[in-house]
Chains A and B, each alone.
Chain A
Amino acid sequence: MRLVTLFAVTTLSAFGAPAFAATVDVPAGANAQERLQTALIDAKPGDTVRLGAGRFELSEGLSLDVANVTVAGAGEGKTILAFDGQLGAGDAFLITSSGVVVSDFTMQNAKGDGVKSKGADGISLLRLTVEWTGGPKASNGSYGVYPVASSNVLIDHVTVRGASDAGIYVGQSRNIVVRNSRAEFNVAGIEIENCYGADVHDNVATHNAGGILVFDLPGLPQMGGHSTRVFHNEVVNNDTPNFAPRGNIVAGVPTGTGVMVMANRDIHVFDNHIDGNASAGVMLVAYLQTFTDPRYIPLPRDIVVRSNRFGRNGFAAVWPGGAEVAAAVGGSLPPVIWDGVDTYTHPGGAAETIPARLAVSDGPVVNLRLKTQGAPATAAQPTVVPNLITGDLREPPAIVLPAGQDR
């Protein structure tokens, strides 16, 4: 059964951990659902729930609502949480408390999202593998790891494969680090959406439909995404045909996209290796759909693309108009594509033009000159320029996580 050991905790955390914390061991084996869920319910702030090696066959999504708890397995591939028989509770592991650390296990075949954290101040996902073992399929769960409406988010050494939306997805959050992680065979590899302040670095995004996406969408409690640095990543061979259900925003990501920035401001893309992405190396675009939210700005602006190592990209663009644009500019697309949209109409109001200050020194750049938000790419009047420097743009500061979180 469960072994409980007590040891003194020498430091008090920001979340009010008690002076003593317990480690609760939950071995694999029969009745895993009730034993593990009970341990997660009974945990006290500061406790560690330690999952043994072996398979945990789970029949329901798990949940944790206690602050400052660590849930740690015996290692990826050693501790396996298997959700093949999941009957209910969409998210495989839902965390609704702050200061939680989840580490060192493999999660397989969640019916909905993998690890979701809502509303946390402090969430760390470390050394996890979240996968759908049947390969990329539209019936796979949506997100692998999914912190949302949270602050101080750390995703480190996480591997996600097979998500039918985004493998690593951070939404409506602030102060985020995604590093040393691997996303493959997902629709989107890594997606930062409606976030304030993210560093995405030293990751590998490969064999997704799209590698790394930085998006801002209308109609959400947190909008106006800004200040994300995407650097030192391997964004290579994103070539899995987009298998997202229609209607989702990522269903519009062309198969073979390396990095895509949609809306947002102060996004810096640098020092990445971007190669083998058939539709585009880096794509800077406005939100394409109509919207009713008067607070929303659909344009990408204050964007820097520099010092990336580009291989062969944009050699077989599948986005509408892509082939025509390629033909017009000499057969293959340059590494950076900007839609040229700098004007949009406020819902129920007047048109507004916002100068899209760009600093793209990684040319050549193709400007599609679509001008107005909502214009389809088939209306492009492409022109290629060596570089595109229209502003002197300061890099957002490096993300600093609380000292106790980033050890």
Chain B
Amino acid sequence: MLRFGAATLILAIWALNAAAMSAPPPAPPVDDAALMADAPAPVLSAYHLFTDVHGRVPAARVTPYDIATPLFTDYAAKTRYFYLPPGKTARVDGPCLIDFPVGAVLIKSFAFPADLRRPAADVRRIETRLLIHRPTGWVAQTYVWNDDQTEAVIKRAGLRVPVAFTDALGHARSTLYGVPNVNQCKECHSQNGVLAPIGVKARNLDRQVDLWTGRGLITRVSRIPTGATPRWDDPALPAADRARAYLDANCGHCHSRAGLASNSGLFLTLEETDPAVQGVGKRPTAAGRASGDLAFDIAPGRPDESIIVHRMASTDPGVMMPPIGRTLAHDEGLALVRAYIEGMR
């Protein structure tokens, strides 16, 4: 009790002092040395990537971004940033992954508004994930926010967090959200066994590439067009284009020739052109019981007979796809993929 009282007193004095000052003290710069240290910082705030304790206000050189078609993670709202150290720029060469310099950090926070129909109200932040580009390669770290939403603590072995929210249709939802362990980060973020970013492809960023070029954050090193990934939820676009983009974002990191699921022979990145490798008329390889008594990954015109639909709809750990990163089915994504298969002849 005595210690608590003293701490409260100190806080009160600090608050009075802060209020008395005419201007707030300048926020400390991002701590590059801490980011490059072998051991992860025990708390997220040690990196100074944000200027507030809630992790909402990015520091200088920390730039927010959005991607056209994101990964579904149990309806979590995501905020994304990248950090570039002073004097460094990223390089863009066509539609593929942006080449971030050593010292760069990709930052993604996962949060649940109490009601998805009011995304800005009663937002509970669950975790903030970092991908840090060290001289030896990228490393992944995950920080889990405390109940007071004032600090996030390193969590390396994963965690289940009960979450509850009201969905877009007004239905109550709840689940045991899974914070990934660091190996699971790499299960998705793997290119030939080496950890790498996924989402920061130029084609996913659309006009942001020009914006950042203008601000000197990135350099275009070629005239190769950056392209534009279709937005999965843009009703003006054909369902097939949107579904391909959805499968690219939600499956393509593993289901690619350099990904963890390369042995499946099912490749779902947008760059693939052969319908057979995209699952059309393709028999399962090692799906085992997860095939659900169905013969083909995609049976054209027959979503109910397509293994992709069956596994996207499942929440059984031995059946569901993706196997990590979600505990709920994504109703809207599933509807889109069903429409795509329905429309095939």
Chain A residues within 8 Å of B, Cβ to Cβ: 33-34, 37-38, 40-41, 59-61, 63-65, 86-91, 94, 96, 110-113, 118-119, 138-143, 146, 148-149, 164-165, 169, 171-172, 217, 219-222, 244-249, 289, 292-293
A149 and B263 in contact, given A63-B184, A112-B317, A143-B288 (Cβ under 8 angstroms): yes
Give the chain B neighbours of A249 by CB distance below 8 A. 283
Q: Check if B295 is an interface residue, CB within 8 A of chain A.
A: yes
Type the 1/0 row for B243-275, where 1 means its CB is closer than 8 Å to any CB of A.
Answer: 000000000000001001011010000000000
Q: Check if B327 is an interface residue, CB within 8 A of chain A.
A: yes
Candidates A38, A64, A89, A118; contact of B260 at CB < 8 Å: A118
A247 and B323 in contact, given A38-B156, A63-B181, A172-B263 (Cβ under 8 angstroms): no
Cβ contact within 8 Å between B160 and A59:
yes
| Cα–Cα, bound, A142→B178 (Å) | 23
Interface residues of B: mostly helix, strand, loop or mixed?
loop
Q: Check if B13 is an interface residue, CB within 8 A of chain A.
A: no
Give the chain A neighbours of B190 by CB distance below 8 A. 96
Q: Which of B285-332 contact A (CB under 8 A)?
A: 285-296, 307, 316-320, 323-324, 327
Cβ contact within 8 Å between B289 and A88:
no
| Cα–Cα, bound, A118→B186 (Å) | 13
Give the chain B neighbours of A146 by CB distance below 8 A. 286
Type the 1/0 row for B66-104, where 1 means its CB is closer than 8 Å to any CB of A.
Answer: 000000000000000000000000000000000000000
Other than A142-B318, A247-B287, give 20 A-B pairs with Cβ distance below 8 A.
A34-B157, A37-B158, A37-B183, A38-B157, A40-B183, A63-B187, A86-B317, A87-B176, A89-B184, A89-B323, A89-B324, A91-B323, A96-B186, A113-B288, A169-B286, A219-B265, A220-B285, A244-B289, A249-B283, A289-B283
Give the chain A neighbours of B182 by CB distance below 8 A. 41
Cβ contact within 8 Å between B156 and A41:
yes
Task: Give 30 CB contacts A-B under 8 Å.
Answer: A37-B158, A38-B156, A41-B182, A41-B183, A59-B160, A60-B158, A60-B181, A65-B186, A87-B178, A88-B317, A96-B183, A110-B318, A111-B318, A118-B263, A119-B193, A141-B288, A142-B288, A143-B286, A164-B288, A217-B285, A219-B265, A219-B285, A220-B285, A221-B263, A245-B291, A245-B293, A247-B284, A247-B292, A248-B291, A293-B276
Cβ contact within 8 Å between A37 and B293:
no
Cβ contact within 8 Å between B318 and A90:
yes
Cβ contact within 8 Å between B183 and A88:
no
Cβ contact within 8 Å between A63 and B317:
no
Q: For residue A63, which residue of chain B has the nearest CB?
A: B183
Give the chain B neighbours of A217 by CB distance below 8 A. 285
Smallest CB–CB gap between B71 and chain A, Å? 16
Cβ contact within 8 Å between A292 and B281:
yes
| Cα–Cα, bound, A146→B317 (Å) | 17
The 3 A-B pairs with the shortest beta carbon distances in the complex, nearest first, are A142-B288, A111-B318, A112-B318
Which one of A63, A110, A143 has the highest number of Cβ atoms from chain B below 10 Å of its Cβ?
A63
| Cα–Cα, bound, A33→B158 (Å) | 9
| Cα–Cα, bound, A90→B319 (Å) | 7
Q: Check if B282 is an interface residue, CB within 8 A of chain A.
A: yes
Give the chain A neighbours of B265 by CB distance below 8 A. 219-221
Smallest CB–CB gap between A278 and chain B, Å? 24
| Cα–Cα, bound, A47→B281 (Å) | 45
Give the chain B neighbours of A64 by CB distance below 8 A. 183
Give the chain B neighbours of A90 by CB distance below 8 A. 290, 317-320, 323
Cβ contact within 8 Å between A247 and B283:
yes
B contacts with A, residue count (CB < 8 A) = 46
Type the 1/0 row for B154-174, where 1 means its CB is closer than 8 Å to any CB of A.
Answer: 001110100000000000000
| Cα–Cα, bound, A140→B160 (Å) | 24
Smallest CB–CB gap between A87 and chain B, Å? 6
| Cα–Cα, bound, A392→B291 (Å) | 41
| Cα–Cα, bound, A65→B293 (Å) | 33
Smallest CB–CB gap between A291 and chain B, Å? 9
| Cα–Cα, bound, A293→B317 (Å) | 31
Give the chain A neighbours of B260 by CB distance below 8 A. 96, 118
Give the chain A neighbours of B307 by CB distance below 8 A. 247
| Cα–Cα, bound, A90→B323 (Å) | 6
| Cα–Cα, bound, A189→B282 (Å) | 25
Cβ contact within 8 Å between B160 and A89:
no
A247 and B294 in contact, given A87-B176, A221-B263 (Cβ under 8 angstroms): yes
Give the chain A neighbours of B277 by CB distance below 8 A. 219
| Cα–Cα, bound, A199→B249 (Å) | 40
Give the chain B neighbours of A60 by CB distance below 8 A. 158, 178, 181
Q: For residue A166, which residue of chain B has the nearest CB?
A: B288
Give the chain A neighbours of B324 by CB distance below 8 A. 88-89
| Cα–Cα, bound, A58→B308 (Å) | 28
| Cα–Cα, bound, A354→B286 (Å) | 28
| Cα–Cα, bound, A40→B187 (Å) | 15
Smallest CB–CB gap between A137 and chain B, Å? 9
Give the chain B neighbours of A149 by CB distance below 8 A. 262-263
Smallest CB–CB gap between A245 and chain B, Å? 5
Q: For residue A187, which residue of chain B has the nearest CB?
A: B288
Candidates B158, B263, B284, B317; contact of A248 at CB < 8 Å: B284
Give the chain B neighbours of A111 by CB distance below 8 A. 316-318
Cβ contact within 8 Å between B317 and A245:
no
Cβ contact within 8 Å between A141 and B318:
yes
Cβ contact within 8 Å between A89 and B317:
yes
Candidates B156, B176, B295; contact of A247 at CB < 8 Å: B295
| Cα–Cα, bound, A138→B293 (Å) | 10
| Cα–Cα, bound, A245→B285 (Å) | 13
Cβ contact within 8 Å between B181 and A37:
yes
Q: For residue A116, which residue of chain B has the nearest CB?
A: B286
Smallest CB–CB gap between A170 and chain B, Å? 11
Cβ contact within 8 Å between A148 and B286:
yes
Cβ contact within 8 Å between A88 and B178:
yes
Give the chain A neighbours of B181 by CB distance below 8 A. 37, 41, 60, 63
Give the chain B neighbours of A220 by CB distance below 8 A. 263, 265, 285
Smallest CB–CB gap between B306 and chain A, Å? 11
Smallest CB–CB gap between B138 and chain A, Å? 14
Smallest CB–CB gap between A380 and chain B, Å? 24
Cβ contact within 8 Å between B282 and A142:
no
| Cα–Cα, bound, A164→B289 (Å) | 7
| Cα–Cα, bound, A301→B185 (Å) | 44
Cβ contact within 8 Å between A165 and B187:
no
| Cα–Cα, bound, A169→B114 (Å) | 46
